[in-house]
Structure 1
Amino acid sequence: MKITGKLVSNQFNLHLNQTKKLTPITIKPSAILLDEQSSLERIARRIARAGLCSRREAENWIVNGRIKLNGKILKTPAITVTKNAKIMVDGKPLPKIKQTRVWLYHKVRGTVTTAHDPEGRKTVLDTMPRDMQRAITVGRLDINSEGLLLLTNNGSLAHYLALPSTGLTRTYRARVFGRINSNALAKLKHGISIDGFTYGPINVNIDRILNHNSWLTIKIKEGKNREIRRVMKYLGLHVNRLLRTSYGPFQLGNIPPEHTKEINTKLLNSLLAFSYKQSSNDSTVS
């Protein structure tokens, strides 16, 4: 895999998705991107900002006794620390918090979105350069899906971007096999429940209907495990190709397969400020 360069602002097609009100999380991107350590913050967030893991993973590490605070093993993540706190992870000092970095990656089919796969399958991190080996993925794409995947060294930012309440729209192009029922697809904008699982609003646009396969553009905000495939199957459609083209304001564009582009800090702050502003307004899949 090759790093193909940094993005410039005109490569982004910033778009606004408006209709339904969502409640954004309370942490603004500017707070998440703060490179200096805050005077007071939850210890799990401090660990996540050091780039070792996500905030949720840090909480699990604490419960499992892997974290020491000022020489004592922690038993609960409900601890607020100062910037001078001495935190140890598996006996090693917590790394210095680095400047936040975000990469856009073009995932291909056949790779898994995890750091280590017990089945020995190829992961998206296998071919990453050394400075990205500890990168955290923002959500996941299943092994048979392809397209845009976000990575960052900031666990709190990864958590923020993945939350449904943040209101970022994930856009996909799907090739499906089966008979298209436009009325059934249109009703998905109100959400749907399947076998006890409830999925939020899904916007589907029919791009092209062929003899056997059709192309759809699908927009969702939740990104639950295999959500699109399960919903399409329920409607009698088999997804034989699924490509994510955008995640909030971040676009796949012309990034080649298995290549990455890093977003420069100034542009990153602008994009996050834009996405936060939109999630604070009336917004839904459009």
Structure 2
Amino acid sequence: MSEKLQKVLARAGHGSRREIETMISAGRVSVDGKLATLGDRIESDKSLKIRIDGHQVSIAESATEVCRVLAYYKPEGELCTRNDPEGRPTVFDRLPRLVGSRWIAVGRLDVNTCGLMLFTTDGELANRLMHPSREVEREYAVRVFGEVDDDKIRQLSKGVQLEDGPASFKTIKFAGGEGINQWYNVTLTEGRNREVRRLWEAVGVQVSRLMRVRYGDIQLPKGLPRGGWMEMELPAVNYLRTLVGLPEETVTKISVEKDRRRTNANQIRRAVKRHSNVSGSPRRTGGSSSSRTKDNSGATTGRSGTPTSRSGAASTRAGTSTGRAGTSTGRAGTSTGRAGTSTGRSGGGSKKRGS
């Protein structure tokens, strides 16, 4: 049975479908010596010579190939592209090196947005997690500048018309702040370009800071410094696969020890600081964003001035291998976050989220 070329290449781990469609449109993919075009279909069981940028690639699915997923804390100032012609830092710069595979970004964050990004070696998983038909929740902590009244909240919940169609927030929760600088936690079930910022701008409110704190039930890992990564263990990987209708994996491959160039949290932080100084990307102020403490109510306080999500969704902390210390936390299962208890600092004082 024939399948679309981009689907076959994505399944073989050569990128997400969206990335491969871009490659095809740019004339970078050929099949048996002929340039591929969007819409081409191939028989994946036939012997075909498929090349990307002149290099022959395999489309065979290996029985030993293991789906891997990383959680990465993207800092502001990094681009979501593999290579930048101007030499600016990208989200791929600090990821562990792979042999015979590549990391595929699950969606994008714009250059001025920080927070959780997921990367996987499975192109089909990446495509399904990004596709709006799956309605996978994304949660953001947003600091806004401007008057926010009940009417604007209703508009954002009901829906506003953007240039690429109607859009709305699934949930909006006040998370602290005073005056015209306030924090909100918002959720979406799609990932259109700059959608969070454009929604607020549509009601006359500017976003002064934006941070993704959750994708599905995967929270931004506690204690992970900006520019740091953690590899998900089997329960977390299978949660994501089940979420989008893919079969579960039976084995894991936490073999990143050979790839690690930083062996503890302090080394990561020093490397991030050097990277930021060289690239000119925004530096962290006011303490480490990864230093979070819990109060007696279970609320999480972000010392960087951003509230961390406890939206009530199950937080999948199902064992993660950290890129900091080469150890696995091995905490299988899930923990339930409490809604309306996240504390963020805005201005100089901290306010608890409204419940």
Structure 2 Cα separation of the partners of residues 191 and 91 of structure 1 = 46
Structure 2 Cα separation of the partners of residues 112 and 65 of structure 1 = 23
Give yes or no for contact 2:125–2:241 (8 Å, CA) kept in 1.
no
Deviations 1:69-125 (A, max 9, x none): 4x3425444313233433321443314643221111011111111111233321111
Residue 121 (structure 1) aligned to one of 82, 88, 94: 88
Q: How many residues align?
A: 240
Equivalent residue number for residue 114 of structure 2: 146
Would the alpha carbon gap of residues 259 and 229 (structure 1) be closer, same or farther in structure 2, given more than 3 Å must change? same
Structure 2 Cα separation of the partners of residues 226 and 68 of structure 1 = 33
Higher relative contact order (CA 8 A, sep 6+): 1
User: Which consecutive residues of structure 2, in runs of 5 or more, have no partner in the other structure?
Assistant: 247-312, 314-338, 340-355
Equivalent residue number for residue 55 of structure 2: 92
Equivalent residue number for residue 353 of structure 2: none
Would the alpha carbon gap of residues 85 and 267 (structure 1) be closer, same or farther in structure 2, given more than 3 Å must change? farther
Structure 2 Cα separation of the partners of residues 51 and 196 of structure 1 = 30
Structure 1 residue 57, shift from structure 2 partner: 3.3
Structure 2 Cα separation of the partners of residues 59 and 194 of structure 1 = 25
Moved over 6 A (4+): none
Give yes or no for contact 1:166–1:276 (8 Å, CA) kept in 2.
no
Deviations 1:159-183 (A, max 9, x none): 1111111110110111111112122
Structure 1 residue 51, shift from structure 2 partner: 2.2
Structure 1 segment 225-236 matched on structure 2, within 5 A? 225-236=193-204
Equivalent residue number for residue 211 of structure 1: 179
Structure 2 Cα separation of the partners of residues 268 and 61 of structure 1 = 27
Larger of the two Rg values belongs to structure: 2
User: Which consecutive residues of structure 1, in runs of 5 or more, have no partner in the other structure?
Assistant: 1-38, 278-284
Counterpart check, 1:261 vs 2:237: no
Structure 1 residue 266, shift from structure 2 partner: 4.5
Structure 1 residue 240, shift from structure 2 partner: 1.4
Equivalent residue number for residue 42 of structure 2: 80
Equivalent residue number for residue 43 of structure 1: 5
Structure 1 residue 129, shift from structure 2 partner: 2.3
Instruction: Please give the TM-score of this superposition, normalised by the length of structure 2.
Output: 0.60
Q: Secondary structure at the match of 1:228?
A: helix
Q: Secondary structure at the match of 2:155?
A: helix
RMSD, matched Cα? 2.8
Structure 2 Cα separation of the partners of residues 200 and 179 of structure 1 = 19
Structure 1 residue 44, shift from structure 2 partner: 1.9
Greater shift, 204-213 or 126-135, is seen at 126-135
Q: Secondary structure at the match of 1:131?
A: coil
Structure 2 Cα separation of the partners of residues 87 and 249 of structure 1 = 40
Equivalent residue number for residue 9 of structure 1: none
Counterpart check, 1:178 vs 2:121: no
Equivalent residue number for residue 56 of structure 1: 18
Would the alpha carbon gap of residues 211 and 61 (structure 1) be closer, same or farther in structure 2, given more than 3 Å must change? closer
Equivalent residue number for residue 102 of structure 1: 69
Greater shift, 44-53 or 245-254, is seen at 44-53
Residue 251 (structure 1) aligned to one of 219, 227, 239: 219
